[in-house]
Copies of this chain bind each other. A is one copy, B any other.
Amino acid sequence: MNGARRRYAILAPGSFADARAKTAHGVIRYAEDTTVAVIDPDCAGKCVRDVLPYLECDAPIVATVAGALAFKPTSLLVGVAPPGGALPASWRGEIAAALDAGLDVVSGLHESLGSDPEFAAFAQRGKTSIWDVRLPPAVPLFSGRAYEVGARVVLTVGSDCAIGKMTVALELTRAARERNVRARFVATGQTGIMIAGSGIAIDRVISDFASGAAEAIVVEAACDADLLFVEGQGGINHPAFAPVTLALVFGAAPDALVLVHRPTRTVIEHFETPLLSYRQLIRIYEGLCASVKPARVAGIALNTSDLSEAEALAQIARARTETGLPAGDVVRFGPHRLYDEMAGAFADKTQPLGRASAVQ
């Protein structure tokens, strides 16, 4: 791509309208690359705005890669993140067709498309390439270098997966920049990396090194920023993904946390584990931080996208009352008010309980 912006055709077969396509939605909304078409036979004939008005995008939705080529994409982006990250067999033909047509392919699946011999052959034939966003670089063990950075580090944590931790980090970064703070978004998952152009998918790192990977991206991002908003992952009582959450809580060594919650969610997605209350979540996140490097929850960012405005305001008021903390919906009402209310808490640099020495 030689530094030029991509023109994306986004593959989201059968799922563009729902939360499974959160990668597609995030890239359309926040990436500087342009989306020129979406591929989903279930919505073909409509445009993005017809299906999801909030994305404010007029790209057409078509049924196949062949149909998308009329809109001159440079790249096919796999816009769905199925649990476990394996490639559904039915998508293979579309990906092969894109490579054959010379599009580069950007994928956040666990499964590496670049190491698939068939795709590699198609990429060679189409003189193009595959970017497996989720494949992490080699990273060292956590060493304590994150304790030494000058930037203040804010981590978004949540009550569950797929509720808006990345979006909150992006919106708060924007608000901070508009307040003339040298703020930077730190991507830790595939969609965030596609948006930011850098980062490490912590969930794809070998678990011994997950904390070290979080540290590595914080140390790197802190070189040219004063305030980092690190994209959180999972949830601390998620039976499957909590280890990834904890890798960020300890590895990113945050100075403050922002708690993200979707009030209509009552159980962990795909499980029946009840979601914790605000007070339980604050106690458990702050309790873990207190055992290594103290950090407090600075405020509550609510995702009220499936509530009326009156209901949203009521939920925000409830969060404020229950926790005594600033609360708001940074998408619905913009990030500035919540950012300004939390900015004082972001200004403090905390210290680890013990200074870490390098692991030998």
A354 touches B211 (CB 8 A): no
Interface-centre pick from A140, A242, A243, A253 (highest chain B CB count, 10 A): A243
* CB of A84 closer than 8 Å to a CB of B: yes
- Which residues of chain A (27-49) have a CB below 8 Å from chain B? none
Contact pick for A274, options B210, B238, B268, B353, CB 8 Å: B353
B356 touches A247 (CB 8 A): no
Q: In the complex, A205→B210 CA distance in Å?
A: 10
Between A and B, 25 residue pairs with Cβ closer than 8 Å are A83-B359, A84-B141, A141-B240, A144-B239, A144-B271, A202-B207, A203-B208, A207-B210, A207-B244, A211-B239, A211-B240, A239-B250, A239-B292, A240-B250, A240-B251, A243-B246, A246-B246, A268-B354, A270-B357, A270-B359, A271-B357, A272-B353, A273-B292, A273-B354, A274-B354
Q: In the complex, A244→B288 CA distance in Å?
A: 15
Q: In the complex, A142→B83 CA distance in Å?
A: 10
Task: Decide if the interface of chain A is mainly helix, strand, loop or mixed.
Answer: loop
- Which residues of chain A (270-328) have a CB below 8 Å from chain B? 270-274, 276, 280, 283-284, 287-288, 291-292
Chain B residues closer than 8 Å to A291, beta-carbon distance: 236-237, 273, 276, 280, 284
* CB of A85 closer than 8 Å to a CB of B: yes
* CB of A110 closer than 8 Å to a CB of B: yes
Given contacts A208-B240, A284-B288, 14 further A-B pairs with CB under 8 A are: A84-B140, A202-B207, A203-B207, A205-B206, A208-B241, A211-B240, A239-B356, A242-B250, A243-B246, A272-B353, A272-B355, A272-B356, A273-B354, A284-B291
A242 touches B211 (CB 8 A): yes
- Which residues of chain A (336-360) have a CB below 8 Å from chain B? 352-360
Chain B residues closer than 8 Å to A202, beta-carbon distance: 207
B271 touches A210 (CB 8 A): no
Interface-centre pick from A210, A238, A241, A288 (highest chain B CB count, 10 A): A210
Chain B residues closer than 8 Å to A355, beta-carbon distance: 272
- Which residues of chain A (12-33) have a CB below 8 Å from chain B? none
Given A272-B357, A274-B353, CB of A206 within 8 Å of CB of B208:
no
- Which residues of chain A (223-257) have a CB below 8 Å from chain B? 236-244, 246-247, 250-251, 253
Tally of chain A residues near chain B (CB < 8 A): 56
* CB of A212 closer than 8 Å to a CB of B: yes
* CB of A267 closer than 8 Å to a CB of B: yes
Contact pick for A207, options B206, B284, B292, CB 8 Å: B206
Given A354-B273, A356-B271, CB of A243 within 8 Å of CB of B243:
yes
